[in-house]
C-alpha cells in the first residue's frame, strides 16, 4: 500500500524580518507524522515564483495533500485559513519588489476557493494539546493568499484528488522584542501544532460539524 504524502511549504522572511516562524517550524517538523511522509519545500515570498515552484513540486511528488504555512504577525495563535480569494492587492512589496493593486490571481479562476482541509478539526486537535488556535476567514491579499488560492486553483483544474489549504502562525518571541504588546508563540508550540494538523488531515476525510466562525 502506498504511503500517504503531504507537501508542506513555508515562506522565507519578508517585510524586513530576519526570520520567518513558518520556515523555522517547517524545518523542525518530523519527516514522518502518523505514517504520513512529509515533503518540505521552502518557497520565496514572491508572487510569481512561489506558485511556479509549488506547481512543479506537486507534479513531481504527487502528494495527497498540500499544507502551506505563512507568518501572520499580530495573531496570537495558529490559524488555519478557510478561504482564499482571487485577488492580489497589498502595499507591501514582495521580496522581488512587486507591489500589486486589484489584480486577479487567475483571470479564469473562481472568485474564491474554500480549503479542502479539515480546518475545524485541526483547530480542535491543537486546542486539545493546549496550543492557541482558531479558525480564520481571511488569508489577506498578499503572497499567502496568492499561494493558497493558486494551489486550490490547480487542484480544481488539474489535481481533483489533491486536498489543500493554508495555516498562518504568529511571530516568534524573538521577533516581538521591539514590538511591545504584540503576541507571539514559542517555536516548539508552533511545530507541535503543525504536526497535530498534519495528523488530523489524514484522520479526517471530512471536517467536524461545529461552530468555528466569529462575528468579525
Residues 90, 144, 146, 195: which is the catalytic one?
144
Q: Which fold has domain 5-203?
A: Aminopeptidase (3.40.630)
Residue 168 cell numbers, joined: 498562518
Q: Residue 130 catalytic? A: no
The count of other CB atoms within 10 Å of the CB of residue 193 is: 26
Model confidence pLDDT, tens digit, residues 85-122:
999 999 999 999 999 999 999 999 999 999 999 999 99
Model confidence pLDDT, tens digit, residues 22-64:
999 999 999 999 999 999 999 999 999 999 999 999 999 999 9
Residues 24, 90, 146, 168: which is the catalytic one?
168
pLDDT recorded at residue 1:
74
Q: Residue 18 catalytic? A: no
Asked if residue 117 lies in contact with residue 165, where contact means CB atoms within 8 angstroms, the answer is: yes
Model confidence pLDDT, tens digit, residues 158-174:
999 999 999 999 999 99
The confidence band for 177, taking pLDDT boundaries of 50, 70 and 90, is very high
Residues 24, 81, 90, 146: which is the catalytic one?
81
pLDDT recorded at residue 2:
85
The count of other CB atoms within 10 Å of the CB of residue 57 is: 17
Domain boundaries, the chain: 5-203
Q: How far is CA 139 from CA 4, 113, 177, 181, in A?
A: 27, 12, 25, 22
Asked if residue 50 lies in contact with residue 57, where contact means CB atoms within 8 angstroms, the answer is: no
pLDDT of residue 214 exceeding 90: no
pLDDT of residue 216 exceeding 80: no
Q: Is 184 exposed, middle or buried (0-12, 13-18, 19+ CB in 10 A)?
A: buried
Q: Residue 146 catalytic? A: no
The confidence band for 183, taking pLDDT boundaries of 50, 70 and 90, is very high
Average pLDDT, the chain: 97
Amino acid at each position: 500500500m502506498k504511503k500517504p504524502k503531504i507537501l508542506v511549504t513555508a515562506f522565507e522572511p519578508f517585510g524586513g524580518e530576519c526570520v520567518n516562524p513558518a520556515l523555522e517550524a517547517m524545518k523542525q517538523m518530523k519527516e514522518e507524522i502518523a505514517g504520513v511522509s512529509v515533503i518540505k519545500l521552502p518557497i520565496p515570498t514572491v508572487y510569481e515564483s512561489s506558485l511556479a515552484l509549488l506547481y512543479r513540486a506537486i507534479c513531481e511528488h504527487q502528494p495527497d495533500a498540500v499544507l502551506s504555512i505563512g507568518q501572520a504577525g499580530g495573531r496570537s495563535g495558529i490559524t488555519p485559513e478557510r478561504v482564499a480569494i482571487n485577488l492580489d492587492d497589498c502595499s507591501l512589496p514582495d521580496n522581488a519588489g512587486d507591489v500589486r493593486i486589484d489584480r486577479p490571481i487567475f483571470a479564469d479562476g473562481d472568485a474564491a476557493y474554500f480549503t479542502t482541509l479539515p480546518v475545524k478539526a485541526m483547530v480542535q486537535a491543537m486546542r486539545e494539546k493546549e496550543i492557541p488556535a482558531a479558525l480564520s476567514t481571511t488569508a489577506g491579499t498578499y503572497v499567502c493568499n496568492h499561494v493558497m488560492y493558486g494551489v486550490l486553483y490547480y487542484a480544481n483544474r488539474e489535481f481533483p484528488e489533491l486536498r489543500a489549504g493554508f495555516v498562518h502562525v504568529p511571530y516568534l518571541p524573538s521577533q516581538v522584542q521591539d514590538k511591545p504588546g504584540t503576541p507571539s508563540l514559542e517555536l516548539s508550540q508552533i511545530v507541535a501544532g503543525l504536526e497535530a494538523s498534519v495528523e488530523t488531515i489524514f484522520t479526517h476525510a471530512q471536517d467536524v460539524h461545529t461552530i468555528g466562525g466569529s462575528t468579525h
